[in-house]
Amino acid sequence: MKIQLDSLEATPSSHPFEASPAWWQEQVVAGRDLDHAVDGPFRFETEAYQVGEDVFLRGTFSGAIQVECGRCLQRYRHALRERFRLVLEPAGDRQPPDPEGVVALERDGMCLAEELELGWYRGHEIDLDAFFSELISLALPLQPLCDETCRGLCAHCGADRNQTECNCEEESRPPSPFAVLANLRTRENR
């Protein structure tokens, strides 16, 4: 997924990209165990333009993954849709302060700053694979829920409480650690 910088003008031009599930598997860091599967391709609707020497990218990406609910353990389809923007300025003779940035600038023709929306470029072409991979990674749910009202599994018998009621008694919560303070107030008032 590359953009030729020589072809950019001050008027935004459309650059749609589509990434297959196989592309995503290649992008995933080796050894990282992700509990999801891509459900179809990721689509990136990108507009690019240049003002002076600065390059501007903006757009949206969409796709879906299959994940396991953190409460009831059922697999469900989780849609992803995010907006993005990126401003790249020419690197010139500057070198990124970190070794990863140096490698990315050489490999991709661009590197990101500490913020995801800023970076540098060098050359006549930028490869957006690493940037798009970062966007997807940041959009993945940290605590996937099939529904906000998911009741989860019973802690005693393991029944899915969304589908059936069990006869287990609700365990009372342990008292708050601050409950002791209420006793102190009662003693002082005596």
Tell me the pLDDT of the chain (190 aa) as tens digits: 888 888 889 999 999 999 888 888 877 754 455 556 788 899 999 999 999 999 999 999 999 988 899 999 999 999 999 999 999 999 888 888 888 888 888 888 888 887 778 888 988 899 998 888 888 888 888 899 999 999 998 888 888 889 988 888 765 555 667 766 766 666 566 6
CA dihedral (55, 105, 135, 98) positive or negative: negative
Q: What pLDDT does 96 receive?
A: 82
Q: What pLDDT does 30 receive?
A: 46
Beta bridge partners, 76, equal 67
Q: What pLDDT does 93 receive?
A: 83
**Tokens 């470029």 identify what position?**
121
> What is the pTM for the complete model shown?
0.75
Q: What pLDDT does 69 receive?
A: 92
Type of residue at 43: R
> Quick check: helix, strand or coil at residue 21?
helix
Residues 6+ apart with CB under 8 A from 100: 111
> Quick check: helix, strand or coil at residue 152?
coil
- Can you point out the beta strands (E) in 91-169? 110-112, 118-121, 125-127
Q: Is 35:57 a contact under the CB 8 Å cutoff? A: no
